[in-house]
Structure 1
Amino acid sequence: MARGGQGLARVAVVVRAGAAPMWWFGVIAAGIGGVPEGLTGRRIGVSAGAALFLVGAAVVALARRKRYAALARGAARAGKYDVLQDRAVTVRNWRRGHRWWLLLAFAVALGSGFAVPAAGGSLLAGLGAGLRLKAAWIGRRERAGDLLLWVRVDWLDRRGGRPAGKAVKGLRGTGIAAGDAAPGGARRRTAALV
């Protein structure tokens, strides 16, 4: 980067990147996995799946909140020469880096339907929902602090990384209008021209 600038990716976008594929793979795996009777029977499998969905969503949504909060409190202002990575690039990098893990999780969730119908897919969908909830929580913090949170791209590991992992020493902050993603990592809605 020119003059000491760093490439920065939005924290909420990195967190949210896996939510959609996990959700849809989970829904598909639960739907297909609910067809066979399995070892436990469909009724027990669906009940277990509902419980796993709730537990998975809660665990992922609540995990490492203290670390995220501490990093957010210590966020330094982004520099003039820092380069803000587009939302689409961040999402593509995360999904490309995790594609084999996502496919393996889908295969395991699908296969588990023959033992406990719909349970594995429900868990995978719950993990995706948990990521979405965590990104929404980060978005609420961003709105409250009027500060978007960014992480250095080189501190994320090769697979897209974790924005609150051990390699992350601190976050950067920008104004709420910076970049092409809204607080929470969703696409920024542009006002229609009249």
Structure 2
Amino acid sequence: MTRGAQGLVRTAVVVRAGAAPLWWLGVLAAAIGLLPGGFTGRRIGVLAGAVLFLVAVAAVAYGRRGRYTALTGSAARAGKHDVLQDRAVTVRNWRRGHRWWLALAFLAALGSAFAVPAAGGMAVAGAGVGLWLKAAWLGRCERSDDALLWLRVDWLGSRAGAPVGKQVKAYRRTGTLAGDAAPGGARRR
């Protein structure tokens, strides 16, 4: 990279990267969690899981929106020498950095099935849906501002941390045709 150039990663892609693994691991854990009767029984487990699903969706989808909005409002234009990271690389790095947390969430959801069947898996699946909704909200913000949001790769850390963590000082913006991901982090068609 040239002097002053920085690697940039799409904010919405980082948010969206965890949605699919959390959803599928949650659905699998909920399905397996229906096999044992548990202490509460299947009916109460599924009802508690539905409540946990809705709570997880709301908490993840609406959590820290103020920080996202503040960083979006102060976003500066990306430099012409900045390097934009591909969507596939971003998703792979996020999943590789969080693989142990995903495995731990899956095992915890399975373990909770012996107490409350399917509830833990439904909560994990709700977190995945919440991330997808947050990425869709970021996509609407990007479309309304007619600019894509990026952040520096080194601010995510070695574990591909949160796109609104303490280490993130500001976002960068580019035009909507930059990069290989559409607004919201989905694949560009």
Check whether TM > 0.5. Answer: yes
The interval holding the TM-score normalised by the smaller chain is over 0.9
Aligned to 1:192: none
In structure 2, give the amino acid aligned to 1:32. I
Q: How many residues align?
A: 189
Once residues 170 and 22 of structure 2 are traced to their aligned partners in structure 1, the CA distance between those partners, rounded to angstroms, is 28
The residue aligned with 2:29 is 29
- In 1, the alpha carbon distance for the partners of 2:24 and 2:178 equals 30
Unaligned stretches of 5+ in structure 1?
190-194
- Deviation of 1:106 (Å): 0.3
Tell me what 1:117 maps to. Answer: 117
Tell me how far 1:67 sits from its aligned partner.
0.4
1:4 partner SS = coil
Question: Where does 1:49-64 land on structure 2 (aligned, <5 Å)?
Answer: 49-64=49-64
Q: Distance in 1 between matches of 2:110 and 2:132?
A: 22
User: The residue matched to 2:8 in structure 1 has which SS?
Assistant: strand
Paired residue for 1:182?
182
Q: Which position in structure 1 is the counterpart of 2:168? A: 168
TM-score when normalising by structure 1: 0.96
SS across alignment from 2:151 = strand
Alignment of 1:80-119 (within 5 A): 80-119=80-119
The Cα of 1:3 is off from its aligned counterpart by 2.5
**Structure 2 CA distance for aligned equivalents of residues 108 and 155 of structure 1:** 29
Q: Secondary structure at the match of 2:150?
A: strand
How big is the shift at 1:133? 0.4
Structure 1 runs, 4 residues or longer, greater than 6 Å off = none
SS at match of 2:125: helix
1:97 to partner: Cα distance:
0.4
Q: Distance in 2 between matches of 1:158 and 1:109?
A: 26
What secondary structure, in the 3-state scheme, does the structure 2 residue paired with 1:131 have? helix
